[in-house]
Amino acid sequence: MPTTPIARALLSVSDKTDLVPFARSLASLGIELISTGGTARALAEAGLDVTPIHEVTGFPEMLDGRVKTLHPLVHGALLGRPDLEDHVQAMDEHGIVPIQLVCINLYPFEQTIRREDVTDAEAIEQIDIGGPSMIRSAAKNHAFVTIVTSPQQYDEVIDDIRRNDGTSSNDMRRKLASAAFTRTANYDTAISQWMSRKEDEPFPPVLQVTGRRSRILRYGENPHQRSALYTTPGDGAIQLASAPLRSGKPLSYNNLNDAAGALALVNDLAIVNRDQIAATVVKHTNACGAAIADAATDAFLAAWEGDPRAGFGGIVAMSAGIDTELANTIADGSRFLEVIIAPSFEDDAVEILAERWKNARLLEVPGIGAIQPQAPTIRSIPGGLLVQEPDSIIADPTRWSHAAGPAPDDALLSDARLMWIVCKHLSSNAIAVGGSGRLLGAGTGQVDRVGACSLAIERAGEALSTLECPVAASDAFFPFPDGPALLADAGVRCIVQPGGSKRDDETIELCNERGITLLMTGVRHFRH
């Protein structure tokens, strides 16, 4: 389809990132700049010749900016087809001059509604009307109009125009139009979901999940499975998918999945241990090491010693930044790590770790230890989606009940809380055993709770006998006292569990008889 050089461009943006360089490039190609409100002021202040939109329409911007571009001289200029004679005659008759490029990004509605203190009136004023209208008009007529909706597109658009003698290629216009319709669809979905929200109903009638493809991954969980990484709009939560990679190869599907598990655990530990450093070692999303300590090196070493064999090829997450001392400690010995996560890395620490493991991924994730908003979890099933609120309950021993055995002191409660948090992040059925600020053994993913107890004891090994007061945590209640009896026989002196079994009295009786402190949390933490 024949195209004509781009002669006029309409620019109206809320996000003015790289606006001036983009507009300057357009002007250097002889393209007339038309603009609105704050965008026009920014361009004029940068020394660019710009035609205000009211000089095109003959009407002032009005109603507090609600009406600027909703005019036939704008939309006719975007929708008119120069290849149709009747369109050309109508445009000439009504003084409509074609616009061949539109650059628009929308009012920041999504960002506005994420503010905790936002009012309905503030949110409503950030619902863009003219912007989506122009985007859709330009995208519909993409055979003749180039529609730009993101600063990330600026460079490729300018390069394409220069390569094509002042116009844009058909492929580029179609690609941009697809992105434009995706943007308006996502924008309208955000508005719809916000408008339909109810205080007592966390799930919208229609669920729209929006993700932007970040990159194609080498493969999924297995080499025969294709996979990709999509990023979701930021909501103030810790951002793993877009976290900077300080060194190493790109993360794989399994790396990212395991990193999410390590990050969730270390974040929970850091929230409740603000005066100490938390460290975790994770393999296949399950902790094989976890510890808290006053010093970062002590925390790492205690976590690694939990199960060094399982930790080989695993992922380490720290709640503190990694300096040269900690980097040297991590790099020492025969360890092998796939990923290391921390809020920050000193440059020298990056060099130390990169020299030790050329391909190890060093992932910088700020915000660890802060209580963050969390998105619902979504799982696909044949014919549908399962959606649930995240398991975001923070362990609080002051809310637990002391059901049997000796009363716990502060040190025992600290270890009980540590094991309870670790257990929350294990695959069910799960038992975590440890003490003195660290995990010793985890029984994960078992189909019966006695089996989980046996596995946790086995993995803890002889180290269990070195503890003065070993603690065990169970992610769900014990249906029978056989699991607690097995733990007691192994030397466990404190058990933390939700309670709620019809046979709780049998477990309570056992613990009283064996002098075991029994704490009931009233909260179950299944994880599948």
Q: Are residues 155 and 272 in the same domain?
A: no
Alpha-carbon dihedral of residues 235, 236, 241, 244, nearest 10 degrees?
140
Q: How far, in Å, CA of 375 to CA of 189, rounded? A: 16
Low-confidence residues of the chain, pLDDT below 50?
1-2
Give the separation between CA 431 and CA 421, rounded to whole angstroms: 11
User: Are 341 and 456 members of one domain?
Assistant: no
Sign of the torsion angle spanned by Cα atoms 168, 72, 28, 179: negative
Pairing of strands 361-364, 245-247: antiparallel
CATH code at 58? Answer: 3.40.50.1380
List 284, 402, 425, 502, catalytic entry: 284
> Among this protein's residues, is 140 annotated catalytic?
yes
Would residue 284 show up in a list of annotated catalytic residues for this protein?
A: yes
What CA–CA distance (Å, rounded) separates 31 from 48?
12
Inside any domain, residue 370:
no
Last residue of one domain, picked from the residues 168, 196, 224: 196
Say whether both 350 and 423 belong to one domain: no
In this structure, the answer to whether residues 274 and 358 fall within a common structural domain is: yes
Tens digit of pLDDT for each residue in 480-517? 999 999 999 999 999 999 999 999 999 999 999 999 99
Q: Which pLDDT belongs to residue 259? A: 95
Question: Which among 60, 82, 72, 68 is positioned nearest to 5, based on CA atoms?
Answer: 82
| Domain-embedded: residue 447 | yes
Query: Given this model, what pLDDT does residue 1 score?
Result: 47
Taking the C-alpha atoms of 42, 47, 49 and 52 in order, what is their torsion angle to the nearest 10 degrees?
30
Domain boundary, last residue among 141, 173, 196: 196
Residue 231 lies in a domain: no
Is residue 443 situated within a structural domain? yes
Asked if 174 and 286 sit in the same domain, the reply is: no
Tokens for 517, please give them: 């402190």
Do residue 294 and residue 414 come from a single domain? no
What's the pLDDT at 419? 97
**Six token digits for residue 278:** 């938390």
Q: Are residues 349 and 415 in the same domain?
A: no
Please give the Cα distance from 46 to 254 (Å, whole number). 48
Cβ pair 272, 370 in contact under 8 A = no
Cβ–Cβ < 8 Å for 240, 263: yes
Residues 321 and 423 in one domain: no
Task: Give a yes or no: residue 222 inside a domain.
Answer: no
107-121 burial string, b = 16+ CB within 10 Å, else e? bebbbbbeeeeeeee
Which residue of the set 71, 140, 175, 402 is catalytic? 140
Residue range(s) defining the domain that contains residue 501:
397-520
Q: Which of 315, 340, 364 is the last residue of a domain?
A: 364
Q: Which of 189, 64, 195, 65 is nearest to 124 (CA)?
A: 195
- Residues 406, 347, single domain; the answer is no
Check the CA dihedral 72-75-78-81 and report its sign.
negative
Number of domains in the chain: 3
Q: What is the pLDDT of residue 199?
A: 58
pTM assigned to the model: 0.78
One domain, residues 355 and 409? no
Residue 297 inside a domain? The answer is yes
Are both 296 and 360 inside the same structural domain?
Answer: yes
What per-residue confidence (pLDDT) applies to 451? 95
The answer to whether position 204 is within a domain reads no
